[in-house]
Amino acid sequence: MKIAMWSGPRNLSTAMMYAFGNRSDCAVVDEPFYAAYLAMTGIDHPMRSEILASQDQDPKMVAAGLTDANPDGKTHYYQKHMTQHMIEGVPRDWMREVKNVFLLRHPARVIASYAAKRENPTLTDIGFPQQAELMQMVAGWGQTPVVVDSHDIRENPQDVLEKMCDAIGLDFHEAMLNWPKGGHKDDGVWARHWYGAVWNSTGFAGAEGPLPEVPDALQPVLEAALPLYEEMKARRI
């Protein structure tokens, strides 16, 4: 089975990759379209040159690899994807051949976390419009989008992961609830900039507290993202 997990940034996505990566039957890949996205847009991200050197920059070649034989002969292949990477020119037809799962997080939390690493994120940077578009596309193909919210996962990881696995036809493994400290061998080269907290973790963090304050300058981003989040959240398992 091939599982494509779609989220925006700062959204428990690395912890989810570690959860699947701790299964003995599952290979993982970390944001395979990142270099293609940077090359196609010219956008400046932290560690841009290292990222461009670390991955194939041709999105068609990347897409072909995602539906090829699973790495390391594993039964399952978990693919961590960022919705903001799916710009015009990045293929989508390959998504018909995988199980598509959508990971949500309240935009106030995303904005606060992202802004701590990269200033003044836009709505496009945090990926909510792209996530909604991909979800609608998958539904239009006749697939039922599987939707999980990071808030629910942190409140009860086993319950939500069991439901998610059942929804995609995968056996749940308790190994998904914990992982070794220090990162994963398949982390992207950018991990040292973004993954500090999850590198120090051995499992999902506990329930989240109150929503963070969003600076006035980023209130328009929050107001634009909230309706998209609420619409997608209504589908969550």
Domain CATH code at residue 21 = 3.40.50.300
Which residue, among 212, 184, 187, has the nearest Cα to 115 in the 3D structure?
212
DSSP three-state, residue 26: strand
pLDDT in tens, the chain (237 residues): 999 999 998 889 999 999 999 999 999 999 999 999 999 999 998 899 999 999 999 999 999 999 999 999 999 999 999 999 999 999 999 999 999 999 999 999 999 888 777 678 899 999 999 999 999 999 999 999 999 999 999 999 999 999 999 999 999 999 999 999 999 999 999 999 889 889 999 999 999 999 999 999 999 999 999 999 999 999 999
Q: Which domain holds residue 57?
A: 2-233
Q: Are strands 2-7 and 99-104 parallel, antiparallel or unpaired?
A: parallel
Number of structural domains found in the chain = 1
